[in-house]
């Protein structure tokens, strides 16, 4: 079941991920510098924090290529990143 998990030893009790924090990071791989960190709650998609993370990152560094995981594969994400003159690499589906 996506969005919930069994907690502790009781398999019948489900805990929702909405209680847990999440952070969307933007990292410069060459310098290992953190360019953005936008906190939120694990209630839904990471896309909620994406716009703020991109804005922070482009203010802090010149970015040539944006690499993200499959969760960020949306046409509006590609357009938003490319509007800053940045190339995108985001796989369309999970390998496996």
Strand ranges, E, within 1-96: 4-7, 10-16, 21-28, 33-41, 65-67, 87-89
**Domain region containing 65:** 14-89
In a domain, 22, yes or no: yes
- Residuewise pLDDT in 10s, the chain (96 residues): 344 444 455 555 555 555 778 889 999 999 999 999 999 877 667 778 889 999 999 999 999 999 998 888 999 999 999 999 999 999 887 666
Quick one: which of 66, 61, 64, 56 has its CA closest to 91? 66
- How many folded domains does the chain comprise? 1
Q: Is 45 a domain residue?
A: yes
Integer CA distances (angstroms), 75 to 39, 62, 80, in order: 23, 22, 9
> In this structure, is residue 94 part of a structural domain?
no
Q: Helix 47-60 and helix 75-82: axis angle, to 10°?
A: 10
Return the pLDDT at 67.
94
- pTM for the full model? 0.70
């Amino acid at each position: 079941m996506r969005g919930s998990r069994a907690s502790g030893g009781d398999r019948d009790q489900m805990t929702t991920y909405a209680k847990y924090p999440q952070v969307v990071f933007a990292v410069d791989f060459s310098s290992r510098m953190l360019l953005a960190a936008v906190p939120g709650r694990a209630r839904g998609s990471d896309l909620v924090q994406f716009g703020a993370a991109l804005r922070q990152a482009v203010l802090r560094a010149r970015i040539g290529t944006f690499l993200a995981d499959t969760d960020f594969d949306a046409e509006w994400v590609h357009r938003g990143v490319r509007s800053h003159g940045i190339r995108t690499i985001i796989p369309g589906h999970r390998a496996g």
